[in-house]
Structure 1
Amino acid sequence: MIFAPSLIWLSTALLFFAPAVNLVWRGGTGYGFFGLVALSLGAAVANKRTPDYFKGLRTYNWYTLGMLAFLVAIMFQQLVMHYWLPRQFDALSRFTFALPLFLLLRQFPSRNLRAIGWGCAAGAIAVGAWALIAQPQGGWTDASRASNAYTNAIPFGDTALLLAFLSVFTLGWDGPRDWRMLAVKLLALVGGGYASYLSGSRGGWITIPIFAILLGCQFHWFVHKKRLWVAALAIVVCTAALLSTERVERRLEDATTDFSALHHGDENTSVGLRLQLWQASFRLFTEHPVYGVGKGKLERALGDLAAHGQARTEIVNERAHSDFFSTIAETGAIGAVCLLIFYFGLTVHFWRERRNQDPTIRAAAYSGLAVSFSTIVFGLTIDVLVPVMVTSLLALLSAAFLAVIDARKRELSHPAVR
């Protein structure tokens, strides 16, 4: 299928732009994302009579289902429960928009789609520089953790960490032996990692060993005994260095102190209040097991529990600080099934291609796995699927990495189309 060069290069520019500005320009990722969506919808209309254009939705059927499940379920829930809160469709609609975006991007040459990797690197470097330049007087502290004007420290640090590691995962298709590319990508790893470190987002730090294992599998660190020892030594040294820093040591000590206080009956701590919030959310699920209390109605439901003395007023919140507990409380068992379908659809096609011998496909597969695994892990302690800037980025990354796999497969099957 032939597209105008101007369309391809505009899309390439937007692929770079959207992740590059995610943490330094409010709304920037949204502008880039919807620019691409507008182009993709136009292309879909122009090719509505071309059956092969929509073939990707069937080929990657679990991805298609995963991107649609939540939106359909919430529409059905509001219809059954007779209420209308259109705001609840906002963030999750980004995943539905990822489908026409994927259909467009899969038609492009894979070399153009590699811009997404450089966009992640630019975003990680930009947020690292911003954290260094914009620090308040006295520096970033536990009382003033690194964040920006439009998000709090947790999604800020988690996203910075994801962009940092995606810079290295995508090095697999850029040629890791080129020292110039390696230098830029390693600078991105340091920049994004530094911003995450300053954010104190300890829940997101759980993904670091997962990222390390995925990188080891991608670059075959664990194949030979010598490489395994070198990789293990590097991981141990880096871990020891991080654990010895004052900020990491203090954040881990705070968590230990919270658990100790909880053990002695003091629930008025960060960990204690979060556990109570999860317990209250599970209680709501047991009382409304099928449809939940309604998407967007969690705060009111928690307020009702508090009014009847069944929960503390301190935990009344719009979200449960966990994708899982927010989902089961607001959308019940139907929502839990949709969440599992979403996670599976976001993972399975990348998992199947992780051992592909082509470095471009393998890099895209491991990049996609990094996105899916981090989404799952981050969602254990924060609502990942709520901030629009986060869902826009995740939808774009998943569509782009899957499109790289599909486009590269086509190029390998038909060398003339490269």
Structure 2
Amino acid sequence: MSVESLVVVGASLAGLRAVETARKDGFTGRVTLIGAEKHLPYDRPPLSKAFLDRGEDELAPPRPFYRDERFFIEDLDVDLLLGSPATALDPAAKTVYIGNRGVAYDAVVLATGSGARRLPGTELLSGVHALRTLDDAEALRDALADGGPVVVVGGGFIGSEIASSARKRGFDVTIVEATPAPLARAIGADMGAAIASLHYRNGTTLLCGTGVEAIEGGGHVERVVLTDGRTLPAAIVVAGIGSVPAVEWLDGSGLTLDNGIVCDETLWTGVEGVYAAGDVARWPNPTFGSLQRMENWTAAAEQGARAVRNALDPARAQPYATVPYYWSDWYGDRIQFVGVPDADEVAWVEGAVDDDGRWVVLYRAGERLVGALTVRAPSEIMKYRGLIQRGASWVDALEFATSRHRARA
């Protein structure tokens, strides 16, 4: 059956790329973009980085929109339905519902992203923030203008970026991380401990192995009580405790929901005409042969394009294979990771924990290169991503690292 009506649910990066790709590939049917937020699609990575900074002129940075409304309406010919989330999917009727309103589709791409986890019991307490949306970022930036101290709950990438921005503004900052080392799931426990040194060097207090017992204050947050009995003064508390895929609205739809929307290699959900992309998609990544769900910019962009191509021409659907790529900016240093952290060996091939220069660290599983971490080495990471994609051996990876180091000597 030919597709005459395409619906994209989620005005995210993945949703934007789906819409753009459909038109770029020549789709002339009706395109509808549904977004829960009132905003046009915008770039999320800056929200926890430069967007929180206070410029020299004290002016707020511009909102990081990808395109203006005119582009969507005139160039892409898209029907925009923003400010109201999708509430149900009826695959039998091929309809997405926004409350009582139904939007019919022949093909649909689900790209609803994920929502930030909130700290329980703080709903009536001002000064407690999470960071996921543009509105969240603006509220946090305004709060930072009033001063600290700042307590960040969670030492992952988002929490660390927020801590970095707060330190740049001169605040006393404490990160509370429940695990023995930050970022253990993202880059491995050993390298999580190593990269924590960036916090210490820049004056951020990092407390690992303890959790939050309570957040207290008289209307506005005043203190954070830890599970080990310590109490931290706080004027601002930020939750950096992860996110949850936005799939609740799909209950009863017949889709398989398990830490996201479970798909096949082509990002097809198993339901006719329904594909997924971005943070919500959990699919068997052919590169590693395992189910993965990725929350990163690169995967969202790539999946949005692949999902819509497959949705519009399922007879020629192509699998989506990738090497995960993450980056983060702390205290002026660029941190980048490619691959997966589950490894039999982690080897430093350049730099050291106490070195202010570049770091390059490789990850081995069996006889294969499966991951790479770099700090202050932005020109290196994509080369290792290419090696992982091609299935490079560990021996070849070490030889390549040696040759790169010699070339710069």
TM bucket by the smaller chain? under 0.3
Query: Which structure's relative contact order is higher, taking Cα pairs within 8 Å and 6+ residues apart?
Result: 1
TM-score by length of 2: 0.25
More helix by proportion, 1 or 2? 1
TM-score by length of 1: 0.24
More strand by proportion, 1 or 2? 2
